[in-house]
Amino acid sequence: MANEKKGKVVQMLSPENYIRQRARSLPVSECSVNKDWKGTGLAYVVIARKHTNNNLTIGMFLVDLRCLGVKDASYRFNISGNEYLEFLILMDGKLDMTPIPYSLAHNIILAGIEFAEEYGFEPHKDYTSVAQYLLEEDTDDIELIEIDCGFHGKPTYVRGPNENEIRVAQIIAQLDRTAGPGNYTIIDKADWDPDLEDEEDEDDEEWDDEEDAEFQDMLQMKSPGLQFKIQIKGIDNPPVWRRVIVPSHYSFIYFHLIIQDVFGWESHHKFFFSPTGWNSFPQIIEADEEEDDLEIGQTMEASETALSEIFNKKGQKFHYIYDFGDNWDHQITLEKVLLEKINQPVCLDGNGQCPPEDCGGAPGYENLKVVLANPDHPEYDEMKEWLGMEDDETWNPAEFELNEIQDMLSEIYSL
């Protein structure tokens, strides 16, 4: 009987893993940046690398040299020469791009990151996880070019048209802690944005003004406090939970933001609240203007629904689902309805470090803890690099800094 022939299985790398493992072996084809980057302090850097088939993989980096470093990063993988040309024409039409040597592109990006990190601002997660590998390793072989950051050496935060009051307050609180009051500059509105037309900017500014006024009005009010224990399901050794008090007049959109802050999530994904999780109603959501209207009886708008409309009885339970892919299910338990009226949230207690975004949900996090607890594990170095950890850093799943959370909430939710 003849032996059966078995075909060879070829393991194809995903675009992300290809970039992580092989992008630096591809020659740099060309780089470009917007011509006014020095004046605006915002650099949109494009780096293109050429494959052997003459296709290109390109990285795009939005670098705030004034304060925040790499605010955004993305890539397009293995595109044709014609697709690349169309991309350049589009970018040039919006931003007036100009070719630059790789060394300048490298120095702009790294200078922005280093300056931002002095004040506690990390580069965008998509840079850390994938896009950084489209840069060369930072060695002495690359010419060092002096790049001016901040304004007269001080961080200068320019509020973008899409940054709401909560985000602004978070950035200011961070600058207070790291630079110190009076050692930085705040400019209310940015006059440049790479993704928006002038007319859209005006609409966004009007929307921001309305939201800011609403936020201030909310802080002027007081209502009975609701004490919650919020625990991420499926995580043990140690469990991850927070105990918070939130004014009952706050809407669910602010409850969502508070949960993000006290756990350490990064607000990269969608969410909803519901009685028992998936397939339970009503679901309290942040409605998308481009999607259909809310279904009556099935969904409620998070920004228009107060906590007091749902929570009214000690022991009541509810669920908060964050990131529909990783499916982080938080069980919310109403422990107390306080008689004292308050206008600011407070974190009372907690336990455990928040899992990293996009780590694969509870099972992925359990695997991550196993890997990071063993320096001899074959995935140890790759996992640390994906998380952006320094060589001497360790992952402590029990870490919980109550004072830092309390200070942050106090800074954000104050008049």
Mean pLDDT over residues 257-261, rounded?
Answer: 94
* Residue-wise pLDDT tens digits, 122-156: 999 889 989 999 999 999 999 999 999 998 778 99
Indicate whether 181 pLDDT > 90: no
Q: Is 126 helix (H, G, I), strand (E, B) or coil?
A: helix
Helix (H, G, I), strand (E, B) or coil at 336: strand
Confidence tier at 387 by pLDDT (50, 70, 90) = confident
pLDDT, one tens digit per residue, over 344-381 is 999 999 999 999 988 889 999 999 999 999 999 999 98
- Residue 213: what pLDDT? 78
∠ at Cα 183 (182, 184), nearest 5°? 95
d(CA 18, CA 129): 12
Residue 113, number of CB atoms within 10 A of its CB: 20
Q: 189-248, pLDDT tens digit by residue? A: 544 343 433 333 444 444 455 667 788 888 999 999 999 999 999 999 999 999 999 999
| Structure confidence at residue 151 (pLDDT) | 82
The residues with which 186 forms a beta bridge, in sequence order, are: 157
Domains in the chain, ordered, with CATH?
Answer: 15-134 (no CATH), 156-219 (no CATH), 221-412 (3.10.290.30)
**Res 195: pLDDT:** 41
How far out from the chain centre does Cα 96 lie? 28
Question: Quick one: pLDDT band at residue 88, thresholds 50, 70, 90?
Answer: confident
- Segment 161-175 shows an average pLDDT of 78
pLDDT for the residue numbered 217: 86
Residue type, 387: L
Task: Give residue-wise pLDDT tens across range 27-84.
Answer: 999 999 999 999 889 999 999 999 999 999 999 999 999 999 999 999 999 999 898 9
Find out whether 24 and 133 touch, Cβ atoms under 8 Å: yes
Please give the Cα distance from 1 to 4 (Å, whole number). 9
Strands (E), 65-140: 69-79, 97-100
Indicate the Cα dihedral angle 401, 240, 72, 120, nearest 10°: 10
Both tokens of residue 373?
């607890």
Nearest to 412 by CA among 89, 151, 171: 171
Give which of 121, 137, 111, 112 is closest to 20, Cα–Cα: 137
DSSP string, 216-230: HHHHH--EEEEEEEE
The pLDDT value given to residue 196: 37
DSSP 131: G
Please calculate the CA angle 78-84-87 and round it to the nearest 5 degrees: 125
Position 5 scores a pLDDT of: 41
**Mean pLDDT of all residues in 81-101:** 88
Q: Look at 11 and 74; give whichever has higher pLDDT.
A: 74
What pLDDT, on the 0 to 100 scale, is given for residue 145? 95
* Range in 281-285, 322-326, 334-338 with the lowest mean pLDDT: 322-326
pLDDT band with cut points at 50, 70 and 90 for residue 306: very high
Looking at residue 251, its pLDDT comes to 95
What one-letter code names the amino acid at 175?
A: L
